[in-house]
Structure 1
Amino acid sequence: MSPCARSAVSQRLQGLDHGMDTHNRSAVEEFALQGFSEEPGLRGLFLVLFLLLFLAALAGNTLIVTAISLYPGLHTPVYFFLTNLAVSDIVCTSTVLPKLLENLAVKGGTISYQGCLTQLFFLTWILGDRYVAVCRPPLYSTWMGRPVRALPAGSVWAVSAASTSVHTGLMTRLAFCGPSQIQRFLCEVPTLLRLSCSPTTLNDVMIVVADVYFGVVSFLLTMASYCCIVASILRTRSTSGKRRAFSTCSSHHLVVALYYSTVVYTCILPGSGSSLENGKVVAVLYTVVSPTLNPSIYSLRNKDVKVALRKVFF
């Protein structure tokens, strides 16, 4: 055989090998999700616990959305943004917890490739929208009308959706050739990137860009708004008024710090060792605990909301 013929045969064989490699690299059609425990007793305990948290989050946030929507006295900017927060919490828990409960009920739970990307899309979209509702600053309702307050809310939803679409689109370009065990109970960008056998440089760059915008910038803006609120409280002469205001804002600070710290920890989390176990706890905090606490922290303790709930439901 001539050198040219041998070269042609060699190139053809390489092309066949490349095709077979591409087929094998795309062979992963579902992922195995890691549970919290392999012991049946603990699995049952976690199942009951997360079911109660799921129901509490749905009930609390649904009450807020219903009361604010049906009671005209709450049609103000601050409650408009609290409605956004409640809706995002409902979507967040509904995206994560049903699959978690299924995997706790059935040992060895899995999620399809399409289902994993769908969960990733909605979870990333909602997490990017959380900083819309914070607290009522001074003179808030006097200058922020309906068109003005709809602009920042709509902009955040749109920007977050665009960012999530980019992350999900880049994820579909990657090949997964095994292993298919996700070291979490949900699909997240960092955990999926560790399973890919394709170059992930572009994905990593986009993660850094999104973290800077949605994490650092939004956190600084949130803290700046709280600084303005604290400065306004300090100018209040009433001691009891200061005490009530600081009590309210301290609980808000706690929730904000909990949310941002857990999200940032997840993004910079190392991929091995005991940090994987810690990562599951952290993921529970911002996908389950935070949406469950938000209704009582931001709305249900408010006397106006209590009045609205009584008038709407009783």
Structure 2
Amino acid sequence: MPPRLNAFRACSSLLSSKSSSASVLAPFLRQPPQQQPHRAASILASLSDNPSSYNKRIRRGRGPASGKGKTSGRGHKGQKQHGKVPVGFQGGQTPMSVTHPTKGAINHFSVDMTPINLNRIQEWIDQGRLDPTKPITMKELNKSNCLHGVKDGVKLLARGGEELRTPINIVVSRASASAIRYVEAAGGSVLTRYYSPLAVRRVLRGVMDPANSLLTQKPVPVKRPGNPFRWQYHLPDPASRKDIEYYRDPAHRGYLSYQLGEGEGPSLFFKSPSAAQSKAMKKRKAQASANKLW
């Protein structure tokens, strides 16, 4: 029967073998030394408290010993002692903001229309992402990722108009004359209508009718979510003269063009010749009747 091994010796031999192998591999397994944070000696001259830790109020005009007495740190005479220099004041010369203004002043009355071109619409139709058998509004364009980030509306442009071969019925905020010509040549139709910035957000959320309002003459058949007879909000109509005149113009395919009578133009200021002549005739007849003796 072989002699038994001492358990303590066996364990000590294993530990010694591990330590020896570790000592052999130590140069190859050495960890990179950790970089100790170091600071330059120059910061010793600029040591100070945190700004929030010092809250002593400076008392001005309380004698020369305080360092802020007499003139209170403002010096003698002049505009800077008696008052304050206005912001942008340059000693009386014409300000640089006037002589050399920055280009592109902000126009608060401009609108930011998101452009959409005809070739992109045709590409989306070919991929099956847009249904040409139904009216295409900004809601369908945004949902299909055909456009992104609508702010004040959508404008239809004519790039790639010769590629359009599918008749579409599209409702947008504005449309160029070339885009209208291409769409109608393909057998489709363009309808421009007014959207306020708030209406754009609500249309994209699906809580407002994307095409029909109170002044719409022929309702556009659009799919209504939930209750098929009611939307959460009504689509607004234009209130400013500029917008009303734009959507009264048949050349823009505006949805208010039905309001024009025969011979009338979209302008709310200039009247048609027939209306002006009839008004002048009424005035002459009134003057003639007033001059009669009996």
Q: Normalized against structure 2, the TM-score is what?
A: 0.21
- Larger gyration radius, structure 1 or structure 2: 2
The structure with the greater share of residues assigned to helix is 1
Report 1 or 2 for greater relative contact order, CA contacts < 8 Å, sequence distance ≥ 6: 1
Query: TM-score, normalised on structure 1?
Result: 0.20
Q: Which has the higher strand share?
A: 2
